[in-house]
């Protein structure tokens, strides 16, 4: 998911180009906007964290681009491509190093497991409950 800061800065195209050049195939894509409530559902796992309310406000502050991506070893390779959560710690050349504004407004989300990729894909797209 391309997050609101990256979309609003006009970086969606550059980010998608990096994703495709890294060998990922886009199998579903959608420009949409999360309500605060939907953002809260997406990040429910973080509901006890001190930054949760800020995160929900930020994630509903503008459009996002949701995508389902396909590749061998996709989860690990995508985490490598996007870089560390905090752009200050992200490797040079990663999407977050290039485009993130802060640890919160960090340009892009990537699923952290195959299981969560299935859940998160189904959150945005019907018909992708089973890969
Ligand atoms: P990710 O898997 O790398 O996206 O990181 P996490 O799952 O730990 O956190 C989810 C999202 O919450 C991050 O991508 C950030 O947008 C936000 N976030 C994480 N840690 C912090 C923090 O310490 N402060 C704030 N404000 N936001 C955070």
Whichever domain contains 70, its CATH number is: 3.30.70.141
pLDDT, tens only, 34-57: 999 999 999 999 999 999 999 999
Q: Is 120 exposed, middle or buried (0-12, 13-18, 19+ CB in 10 A)?
A: buried
- Cβ pair 95, 1 in contact under 8 A: no
Domain count of the chain? 1
Ligand 1: distance of its center to the CA of 7 in Å?
18
**Residue 84 lies in domain:** 4-124
Question: Within a domain: residue 129?
Answer: no
Active-site residue (options: 101, 109, 118, 125): 109
Considering the domain boundaries, does residue 57 fall inside one?
yes
C-alpha 99 chain-centroid distance: 13
**Which burial class, exposed, middle or buried, applies to 103 when counting CB atoms under 10 A from its CB (0-12, 13-18, 19+)?**
middle
Q: How far is the CA of 106 from the centre of ligand 1 (A)?
A: 8
pLDDT digits (tens, 9 = 90+) for 51-90: 999 999 999 999 999 999 999 999 999 999 999 999 999 9
Q: Whose CA is nearest to atom 9 of ligand 1?
A: 85
């Amino acid at each position: 998911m391309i997050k609101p800061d990256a979309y609003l800065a006009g970086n969606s195209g550059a980010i998608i180009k990096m994703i495709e050049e890294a060998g990922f195939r886009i199998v579903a894509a959608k420009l949409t906007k999360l309500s605060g409530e939907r953002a809260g559902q997406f990040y429910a796992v973080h509901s006890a964290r001190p930054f949760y309310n800020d995160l929900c406000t930020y994630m509903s502050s503008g459009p996002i681009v949701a995508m389902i991506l396909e590749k061998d070893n996709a989860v690990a390779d995508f985490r490598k491509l996007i870089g560390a959560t905090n752009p200050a710690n992200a490797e040079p050349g990663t999407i977050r190093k290039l485009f993130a504004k802060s640890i919160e407004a960090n340009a892009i989300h990537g699923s952290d497991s195959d299981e969560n990729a299935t859940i998160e894909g189904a959150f945005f797209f019907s018909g992708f409950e089973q890969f």
